[in-house]
Amino acid sequence: MIIDLHTQVWANLEQLGCDLAAQIRARPVLAGADPLEGTPIAHERAMACVDGAVVLGFRSERLGARIPDEFVAEFVAKDPRRRVGVAGVDPLSGDALDQIDAAVGLGLVGVAVSPACQGFHPAHSEAMRVYERCAELSLPVFVTMQSPLTPAAELEFARPGAWDEVARALPTLPIVISQLGHPWIDEALLLLGKHERVFADISGIASRPWQLYNALLSASSLGVMDRLLFGSGFPLETPARAIESLYTVNAFSHGTQLPSIARASIRSIVERDSLACLGIDSEISAPPPRTEDDEPQTIDELSPAGGSAESINDL
């Protein structure tokens, strides 16, 4: 099963707040991904190569941003066999606990917070109340950092190590750190090694191959490869290109004395049942077991829209 654990959709960029929308519009478009195309139609097209996707909401009083949970729930409900939704909650909102209860009523299965964009320390007392309610309702917490960061974001609140206090206080609460904690990847990996219910997705760094290579080497040496989950970060990246980056990451070691990452470990990241890891029940069902012959030979087999024809068969 391939689950894209980190995707977003929006009706328009203004739902991300005026400052963030302006930053995205000014950002150069990378080949294969267009951050302006965060529409439901673009999402459906990009997710054709995976078995299911988690759609994250976003809310920040600080940035004036809100992708309505109702919008996420409606989108997910159109294809519940391939999508699950996560509510965007701002812990500093006066009605944060009510937001969680309403999200459960909409069928959403987790809560997404963004300390840097929402302006709070992860262990803030108001935020701890949100996590406690999530633990009571068996809702995993997704820790995101919208990209690119706006000047109003507080970078110090994005450090993965700040979640140590939360994980110690609520050891059964599943926590997912996005982008493997970038730019504090080593800090995030130590957190994963310390707490068995803390995970990290590889969104963001999948589009930076050298950083991905080094992150996977570190994760392997620390014995936390089983805590890494696949996520593309759509629409900033597509799952097809993120999968290609993973399967081609050992290109750096070819013909050198640099170590390589075990192919089985790479495949386990791509095909890990992230929903089961996080205790999420869904209608998304696993396909028949894949064999070595079933693995994609080129990026064209991952995406109907096509792309790079670089072979990944001999990695």
Amino acid letter for position 290: R
- The predicted pLDDT at position 23 comes to 86
Residue 204 belongs to a domain? yes
Residue 266 belongs to a domain? yes
Residue 313 belongs to a domain? no
- The predicted pLDDT at position 294 comes to 54
- The predicted pLDDT at position 25 comes to 85
Instruction: Check: CB of residue 212 under 8 Å from CB of residue 178.
Output: no
Residues in the chain where the model's pLDDT stays below 70: 28-35, 286-315
Strands 65-67 and 58-60: antiparallel
- Among residues 253, 175, 174, the alpha carbon closest in space to that of 212 is found at 253
Instruction: Please state the pTM of the whole predicted model.
Output: 0.90
- The predicted pLDDT at position 308 comes to 36
Q: Count structural domains, the chain.
A: 1
- The predicted pLDDT at position 149 comes to 85
Residue 315 belongs to a domain? no
Residue 285 belongs to a domain? yes
Residue 312 belongs to a domain? no
Percentage of the residues of the chain whose pLDDT score is greater than 70: 88
In sequence order, the 6+-apart residues with CB closer than 8 A to the CB of 270 are 2, 230, 243, 246, 247
Residue 292 belongs to a domain? yes
In this structure, what CATH number is given to the domain that contains residue 278? 3.20.20.140
pLDDT digits 0-9 by tens, 161-198: 999 999 999 999 999 999 999 999 999 999 999 999 99
- Among residues 53, 42, 52, the alpha carbon closest in space to that of 12 is found at 42
Which structural domain, as residue segments, surrounds residue 40? 3-301
- The predicted pLDDT at position 298 comes to 46
Residue 310 belongs to a domain? no
